[in-house]
């Protein structure tokens, strides 16, 4: 097809010319059979790679039984999935959504409804520079990033955007009206920047002391990506609210907002809803993904392979002038480059390695969590070939 063929899709995504017709494990294939190593992972979504046989099986089975009934009726699989999520996390209650932004929206409603019951003066939410929480109006309002919100004013009020990983700025901006702190434990779109474990622990302490809800956005960092089911476990803290999506469905649209009993007190009948959220197809896949990923051996393997990847990337950092820094955690890794990251990401793609540009001139690598050392070696080889030609 010619590049200039007229598309009937709104041009929000720009020009797209690469077409994939098949995916298997950690690889994508074009119609003519060209094979790409997928370290973009559908933007940190394909946690179990492409067409994982166990997921294909549950989806096939469920598709022959029941697709959709709406949330007017009881859904046993939804109940079981919520119970399993709560058992494996800090949470006592779950609301299912179809996407990350919807999980954020729900979490913000949890905050608002809680303080509406308890203390109407608490109406400000602290967020961080470089954050990304999605494309809805509340998410745009929360992250205060002109790149996404230009031309979409007026936004919602009540968000205070402060420097990331900065204890002094945090204390300066906390007061009696602070309702919640919303943070990504590892900033994804903003440039693969982890919050320090010390900062996360400090946030928990500040929240406890000042009666503030801690709301984590683990849409990108969660579901095994860090080597733990959720990355907050590394800091040995627990949030009050958490948004999860991306990896939870390994490609099936699904998200969830998790909360404690206390934090979700305001979410009573009629306060929120979704036509599709947690539908039978989605939760059948989600349950299978959770059962595979939450296995200790699986997570241990993610940790091992990610440390191996990290060391290999650090070697590249030392070798190539062009690389400013390697950053990230687990299998959410970033290469900050001197030359334009989009240009380099395109070169990698030409060499059959898929990556995703992120903010702060970073090339993001978010491979399926099922990769092994051989996949890492293959990626490193392509990175070497690409960076060698840059000099
Ligand atoms: C992708 C992302 C979102 C938004 O998720 P959508 O499914 O695109 O709505 C929110 N928060 C973070 C941290 C993300 O990476």
pLDDT, tens digit, 9 for 90 and up, residues 253-299 = 999 999 999 999 999 999 999 999 999 999 999 999 999 999 999 99
Helices (H), the chain: 41-44, 53-63, 76-88, 100-118, 137-143, 146-149, 167-173, 197-210, 280-293, 296-319, 341-350, 373-390
218 Cβ inside 6 Å of ligand 1: no
Q: Lowest mean pLDDT: which of 11-15, 71-75, 150-154, 173-177? A: 11-15
Going by pLDDT thresholds of 50, 70 and 90, the confidence category of residue 1 is very low
Tokens of 194: 């982890």
Going by pLDDT thresholds of 50, 70 and 90, the confidence category of residue 4 is low
The three-state secondary structure class of 275 is coil
With 90 as the cut, is the pLDDT of residue 243 above it?
yes
Sign for the CA dihedral angle at 69, 70, 73, 76 comes to positive
Between CA 199 and CA 164 the distance in angstroms is: 9
Q: Specify the pLDDT at position 240.
A: 99
pLDDT, averaged across the chain:
97
Other C-beta atoms lying within 10 Å of the C-beta of residue 151:
5
Mean pLDDT on 20-41: 98
With 60 as the cut, is the pLDDT of residue 74 above it?
yes
Going by pLDDT thresholds of 50, 70 and 90, the confidence category of residue 6 is confident
Q: Specify the pLDDT at position 5.
A: 67
Q: Taking each helix axis as running N to C, give the angle between helix 280-293 and helix 76-88, from 0 to 180 degrees, rounded to the nearest 10.
A: 30
With 50 as the cut, is the pLDDT of residue 13 above it?
yes
183 Cβ inside 6 Å of ligand 1: no
Which is the closest atom of ligand 1 to the Cα of 218? 13
Predicted structure pTM score: 0.97
Q: Specify the pLDDT at position 3.
A: 53
For 150-180, how does the pLDDT look when each residue is reduced to its tens digit (9 = 90+)? 999 999 999 999 999 999 999 999 999 999 9
Find the 132 Cα to ligand 1 centroid distance in Å: 7
* Percent share of the chain, pLDDT over 90: 97
User: How far is CA 232 from each of CA 65, 285, 351, rounded to the nearest angstrom?
Assistant: 37, 24, 35
217 Cβ inside 6 Å of ligand 1: yes
Between CA 280 and CA 292 the distance in angstroms is: 19
Q: Specify the pLDDT at position 183.
A: 98
Q: Give me the DSSP letters along 214-266.
A: EEEE-TTTTTTTTSSSSGGGGGT---SEEEE-GGGTTTS--EEEEE-TTGGGG
Phi and psi dihedrals of 332, rounded to 5? Answer: -125, 90
Cβ-contact 51, 28 below 8 angstroms: no
Mean pLDDT on 238-264: 98
Find the 237 Cα to ligand 1 centroid distance in Å: 22
Any long-range contacts for 152-161 (C-beta under 8 Å, 24+ apart)?
158/123, 158/124, 158/125, 159/124, 159/125, 159/126, 159/127, 160/124, 160/125, 160/126, 160/127, 161/127, 161/128, 161/129, 161/131
Find the 81 Cα to ligand 1 centroid distance in Å: 21
Find the 41 Cα to ligand 1 centroid distance in Å: 14
Mean pLDDT on 299-321: 98
Between CA 177 and CA 119 the distance in angstroms is: 9
Task: Please tell me the residue having the least CA distance from ligand 1 atom 6.
Answer: 100
For 325-381, how does the pLDDT look when each residue is reduced to its tens digit (9 = 90+)? 999 999 999 999 999 999 999 999 999 999 999 999 999 999 999 999 999 999 999
184 Cβ inside 6 Å of ligand 1: yes
Cα 221 to the chain's mean position, in Å?
5
Phi and psi dihedrals of 26, rounded to 5? Answer: -100, 15
Q: Specify the pLDDT at position 120.
A: 83
């Amino acid at each position: 097809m010619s590049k200039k063929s007229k598309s009937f899709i709104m041009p929000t995504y720009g020009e797209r010319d690469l077409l994939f017709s098949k995916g298997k494990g950690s690889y994508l294939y074009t119609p003519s059979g060209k094979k790409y190593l997928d370290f973009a992972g559908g933007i940190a979504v394909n946690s179990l790679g492409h067409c994982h046989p166990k997921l294909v099986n549950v989806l096939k089975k469920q598709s022959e039984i029941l697709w959709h009934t709406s949330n007017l009726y009881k859904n046993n699989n939804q109940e079981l999935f919520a119970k399993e999520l709560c058992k494996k996390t800090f949470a006592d209650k779950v609301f299912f959504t179809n996407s990350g932004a919807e999980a954020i929206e729900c979490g913000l409603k949890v905050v608002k409804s809680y303080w509406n019951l308890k203390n109407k003066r608490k109406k400000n939410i602290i967020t961080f520079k470089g954050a990304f929480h999605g494309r809805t109006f509340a998410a745009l309002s929360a992250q205060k990033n002109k790149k996404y919100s230009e031309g979409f004013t007026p936004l919602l009020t009540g968000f205070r955007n402060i420097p990331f990983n900065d204890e002094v700025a945090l204390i300066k901006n906390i007061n009696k009206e602070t309702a919640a702190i919303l943070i990504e434990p590892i900033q994804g779109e903003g440039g693969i920047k982890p919050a320090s474990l010390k900062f996360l622990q400090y946030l928990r302490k500040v929240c406890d002391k000042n009666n503030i809800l801690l709301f984590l956005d683990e849409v990108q960092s969660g579901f095994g990506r860090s080597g733990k089911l959720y990355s907050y476990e590394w800091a040995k803290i627990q949030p009050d609210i958490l948004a999860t999506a991306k990896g939870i469905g390994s490609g099936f649209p699904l998200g969830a907002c998790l909360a404690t009993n206390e934090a979700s007190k305001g979410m009573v009948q009629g306060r929120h809803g979704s036509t599709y959220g947690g539908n039978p197809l989605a939760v059948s896949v989600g349950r299978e993904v959770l059962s595979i990923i939450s296995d200790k051996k699986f997570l241990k393997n993610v940790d091992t392979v990610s440390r191996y990847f990290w060391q290999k990337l650090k070697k590249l950092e030392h070798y190539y002038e062009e690389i400013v820094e390697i950053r990230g955690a687990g299998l959410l890794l970033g290469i900050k480059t001197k030359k334009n990251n989009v240009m380099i990401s395109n070169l990698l793609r030409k060499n059959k390695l898929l990556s995703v540009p992120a903010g702060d001139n970073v090339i993001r690598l978010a491979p399926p969590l099922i990769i092994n050392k051989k996949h890492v070696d293959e990626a490193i080889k392509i990175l070497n070939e690409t960076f060698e030609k840059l000099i």
